[in-house]
Structure 1
Amino acid sequence: MINKRAGSVAAIFAASALLLGGCAANETGATDGGTTDDSSSLTGTLVGAGASSQQSAQEAWVAAFQGTNPEVTVEYDPSGSGAGRDTFIAGGAAFAGSDRAFNDEEVAAGEFGACVPEAGIVEIPAYVSPIAVIFNLEGVDSLNLDAATIAGIFAGTITNWNDEAIASQNEDAELPDLAITPVHRADDSGTTENFTGYLFEAAGEVWTEEPDGVWPFESGEAAQGTSGVVDAVTNGTGTIGYADASRAGDLGTVAVKVGEEYVPFSPEAAAAIVDASAFVEGRGEGDLAIELDRATDASGVYPVVLVSYLIACVEYQEAADAELVKAYFEYIISEEGQQAAAEAAGSAPISDQLRERATAAVELIS
């Protein structure tokens, strides 16, 4: 998949500024997530890059962490999951945020620039959020759709809002005779990979493309990043897209059919599927990649979910990087850090069971 990633590492390095580099660089007073601690011995700059889905959470984490560690600057560039993984591989960031874990082939290659060769990586599912199917249709605030209908819309086989497949599930909705404009990510995106993973597993008879971070069709409208998709859906007519639920705003949203019920997105419903899923087998001690069961028919579960990872080295070439990453990750997975993300982004705090595994993983960083 590396050869399919949008953008180049060189373009990433040439970016004029990191979005969050200064958003809280000078916040040394009290914050919602912590208070000033002048006794903190941490100092330096910590650079991360990756998933735009984490943007709101990262803003909250950065502000709180810098509030308790006033001599530390955390810079996080929400350039997208694929770009973040590329940057981490190239050694341009000490950690990455990604809406998918590295796959087996990438892990086996062991090519991570900031890490001691073959030392391995830590991957922690620290940000759990539903992916909202968002739309802009005048007079309609919500819709009920099953997986096959969602797949047909995004595959381009269902092209009009008053199609019987949509109307039969929404008898009370006034659906116009209007063309549907599906909007997808233009960049290599973990959100796309999670979304297409749901379509492939839950509606494989309609969606035959393997899950991938790169959108498989040329039809529809492409937009860069989460913000681009939200803007395109908001500013269009008859548009539909997918985005981290924290960015849904006032757009219409879809309740997804699971079993015999339609389940709207919520942090609780998203968390339910994560705790019911297994870890990927054959990974290192600190690699907590999860194999999600997206075809479940369990009651109250929302299967269109994004599990976004924090990725770091088990062993860094620079001790300063290890110290800062370890401290930052410890804060993020703490109850305080998870609550800060929930308040800022509507994400689902990880369970105590997952926190125990994540804490052990972070302890490996050196």
Structure 2
Amino acid sequence: MRKNLLTRSVAVLSGVAMLTALAACGDNTAAPTGDASSNTASGETISGEFKGAGASSQQAAVEAWVAGYTAQNPDAQIGYDPSGSGAGVSTFLTGATAWAGSDAALSTEEVEQSKSVCANGTSAFDIPVYISPIAVVFNLEGISGEGKTLNMDASTLAKIFDGKITTWNDPAIQDQNPDVELPDTPITVVHRSDKSGTTKNFLSYFVDAAPNDWQYELGENWPNEVGQGAKGTSGVISTVQQADGTIGYADASQAGQLGTVAVKVGDEYVAYSAEAAAKVVDASPADETATEPNRVVVKLDHNTTEAGAYPIVLVSYDIACPAYEDANTAKFVKSWLTYVVSEEGQQTAADAAGNAPLSDTMREKVMASIDAIETE
């Protein structure tokens, strides 16, 4: 799951530079560079300049998708700003991007707001495109390192992130790791400082699995004053790497050389993996509150006891309109999302980011939403 960080960094800088160049192409429209083309699903190519923004968790996957998509559509220029889920959705709702990536499903208010940017009286929809475990990462001298794990249950994790457990050799941690000699190093919690769908997904695990130890309302902003904040997934990882005794959370594709927590599920401790994350998603029901047309939202079962399932999972969505004022933008979005959720697109992302590809059942659901995008 670990990939070359230098390669990613170059790709990210290229994407940000492209976004700057595309800044004049707002209003959910494209700046055509030639004749508008049909959906690549019909064998034709797409041309134009298109922008997306949002979840930093999708960063490595989007880089891979852009490379794969533009190989098939060389006249398409795509920029993605990994500004975070909240920022990406806000940008989309101004009409400045064709689509958004978000680690949180749309709120009722956001669905209503989207009517001002989607055409023909329609509202935006969200579909899963990226499934990945959220790794609880730590940096502890002599203990951490790539492949190194510590066992913890939901209650212990909730208490750590709420500042109730403050040293690494606390009995609650030591008792679950009897073969490890833990130091009395103070624990420093690192959390997202920006509005984040990753935060919401992470904290929803505490809400469901440790309700007696986590009393905060669920949201995309960090709810307490414990520890220190860092912007974006890369900011959390960088901050954890810099100091001994730190602990944080991030999309597992960016865990790198840090130690990670194996989470208690039933009577066993399960380390993160794409396969373990997929088990939870496929076993989870649909969110029945997402009733608007074309929305596909998963309600994760954080209390699963299924063997080998990892319960701290991020389901990241792409957000788009069923209709756009600009026909070329509509054709691009339909073509882009078709590629992203295809077997080829999902495997391309998995190779780059180590996420779990969508199951055939989930793909069938989301393709019904994508097929509903109006292109004429």
Output the TM-score relative to the length of structure 2.
Answer: 0.86
- Between the aligned partners of 1:280 and 1:316, the Cα distance in structure 2 is 26
**1:113, CA displacement in angstroms?**
4.7
Which 4+ runs in 1 deviate beyond 4 A? none
Mapping of residues 239-250 of structure 1, within 5 Å: 239-250=246-257
Matching residue of 2:18: 21
How many residue pairs match? The answer is: 336
**1:111, CA displacement in angstroms?**
3.0
Matching residue of 2:36: none
1:297 aligns with 2:297: no
- Between the aligned partners of 2:298 and 2:217, the Cα distance in structure 1 is 18
Mapping of residues 216-295 of structure 1, within 5 Å: 216-281=223-288, 282-295=290-303
Matching residue of 2:81: 77
Matching residue of 2:64: 60
1:212 aligns with 2:219: yes
Query: 8 Å contact 2:152–2:263 — kept in the other structure?
Result: yes
Residue from 136, 140, 163 that aligns with 2:139: 136
**1:40, CA displacement in angstroms?**
4.2
Query: Percent of pairs identical after alignment?
Result: 52
**1:186, CA displacement in angstroms?**
0.3
- Between the aligned partners of 1:111 and 1:335, the Cα distance in structure 2 is 29
Output the TM-score relative to the length of structure 1.
Answer: 0.88
Greater shift after overlay, 329-338 or 279-288? 279-288
- Between the aligned partners of 1:272 and 1:104, the Cα distance in structure 2 is 28
- Between the aligned partners of 1:41 and 1:147, the Cα distance in structure 2 is 48
* 2:103 partner letter: D
- Between the aligned partners of 1:117 and 1:229, the Cα distance in structure 2 is 41
* 1:96 partner letter: A
Secondary structure of 2:83's match?
A: coil
Query: 8 Å contact 1:134–1:240 — kept in the other structure?
Result: yes
* 2:338 partner letter: E
Residue from 88, 106, 113 that aligns with 2:92: 88
Q: Which runs of 5+ in 1 are unaligned?
A: 1-15, 26-38
1:315 aligns with 2:334: no
- Between the aligned partners of 2:297 and 2:329, the Cα distance in structure 1 is 23
Query: 8 Å contact 1:97–1:310 — kept in the other structure?
Result: yes
CA-based RMSD of the aligned residues comes to 1.8
**1:92, CA displacement in angstroms?**
1.1
Residue from 354, 361, 367 that aligns with 1:353: 361
* 2:175 partner letter: S
Secondary structure of 2:308's match?
A: coil
1:363 aligns with 2:366: no
**1:291, CA displacement in angstroms?**
1.0
1:49 aligns with 2:48: no
- Between the aligned partners of 2:194 and 2:14, the Cα distance in structure 1 is 19
Q: Which runs of 5+ in 2 are unaligned?
A: 1-12, 23-42
Query: 8 Å contact 1:110–1:118 — kept in the other structure?
Result: no
1:153 aligns with 2:124: no
- Between the aligned partners of 2:283 and 2:293, the Cα distance in structure 1 is 20
- Between the aligned partners of 2:120 and 2:248, the Cα distance in structure 1 is 40
Matching residue of 2:101: 97
Residue from 186, 191, 195 that aligns with 2:202: 195
Secondary structure of 1:42's match?
A: coil
**1:20, CA displacement in angstroms?**
7.0
**1:139, CA displacement in angstroms?**
1.6
**1:210, CA displacement in angstroms?**
2.0
* 2:92 partner letter: F
Query: 8 Å contact 2:114–2:123 — kept in the other structure?
Result: no
